[in-house]
Amino acid sequence: MEWTDEGIVLGVRRHGESSAIVELLTREHGRHLGLVRGGAGSRMRPLLQPGNSVSAVWRARLDEHLGTYAIEGTRLRAATLLASSFAVYGVTHLASLARLLPERDPHQDIYDRLGLTLDDFDDAGTAALHLVRFELAMLAELGFGLDLENCAATGATSDLIYVSPKSGGAVSRQAGDPWRDRLLRLPPFLRHGDGGRNDWSDQDLQDGFRLTGLFLLRHVLEPRGQGHSDARDGFIHAVARHRARP
C-alpha cells in the first residue's frame, strides 16, 4: 500500500530512540498516523511541529497497519506560531478539534479551513474569529450544524441577533426580545450576510465562543465523556490578555 498526500501536522510523539509517530490531517486520507524513522532527530524535529504543512508519502504492507511516512515540509508555520502564547494554545486546540473526526475519514472542507485558519493566525483577534468559525464548521461536519440563516420562530432572514440554546436556530430581534435573557447572542461576524464584517468587539468574541462552546459540549464532547480542552480556555484567556495591552 502506498499513497501521497498533503497534510497538516496535528501532533507527534517519540517512538523508540530515534523515531516518531506523527499524526497528520491529510486532504484525501483524513486524520492519519504513521511512523517517521529519524523523526526524533534534530533534522526532522523542526519539520514535525504542529501547524506545519507537509507533503507525505505513506507506505504499509496492509491498509490497517500503522505504516511509515516519508515527509517533506511545504509550509513551516511553527516558528511563527510558537512566538505567541495565544497561537500556541490555538494550534493545540485546533488539533484537539480535528481529533474529533473519525480516523482515516477524509474531510476536505475541514482540511482547507484548517490551513486557512493557520495562515491567518498572526493577530489575536483575527485568530479568535477564525477559531470560532472553525468550531462552527466542526459542528456542521459532525452533523450538528446550527441554522443561522433564518429565524426559527418566524422564518425571517434579517435582523437575526439571537440563537436558541435548545434548537440551535437563529432568532430575530422582534421574535427574541421578550425572551432575550434565555437566548444566546449571535455576534455580527456570524450573522448571515455579515460574514465579512470586521467591526467586532471583545464582547462579540466572547459571545461567539459561548455559542459554539455550548453546542460542542452538549452534542459532541459530553456524549464522548469529554469536556473542552484546557487549550481552549488558555487560548481565550491569552487573546483577552493580548488585546488588553495598551
- 9: which 3 cell numbers? 501536522
Where along the chain do the CATH 2.40.50.140 domains lie?
Answer: 2-76
Q: How many H-runs (helices) and E-runs (strands) does the chain carry?
A: 7, 9
Q: What pLDDT digit, counting tens, does each position of 128-163 carry?
A: 999 999 999 999 999 999 999 999 999 999 999 999
Percentage above 90 pLDDT, the chain: 89
Q: Is residue 194 over pLDDT 70? A: no
How confident is the model at residue 196, as a pLDDT? 47
Where along the chain do the CATH 1.20.1440.120 domains lie?
Answer: 84-244
Q: Could you give the CA distance from residue 33 to residue 240 in angstroms, rounded to a whole number?
A: 34
Q: Flag the least confident range among 13-22, 91-100, 176-185, 193-202.
A: 193-202
For domain 2-76, the CATH class is mainly beta
Give the residue among 60, 65, 55, 61 at the shortest CA–CA distance from 26: 55
Q: Could you give the CA distance from residue 228 to residue 238 in angstroms, rounded to a whole number?
A: 16
Give the residue among 194, 193, 175 at the shortest CA–CA distance from 183: 175
In this structure, how many other beta carbons lie within 10 angstroms of the beta carbon of residue 199?
A: 8
DSSP 171-223: EEHHHHGGGGGGSEE--GGGSTT-TT-----HHHHHHHHHHHHHHHIIIIIGG
Pick the CATH number of 84-244 from 2.10.10.90, 1.20.1440.120, 3.20.20.70, 3.40.50.300: 1.20.1440.120
Which DSSP symbol is given to 231?
Answer: H
Q: What pLDDT digit, counting tens, does each position of 52-92 carry?
A: 999 999 999 999 999 999 999 999 999 999 889 999 999 99
Q: Could you give the CA distance from residue 187 to residue 176 in angstroms, rounded to a whole number?
A: 15
Mean of pLDDT values over 214-235: 97
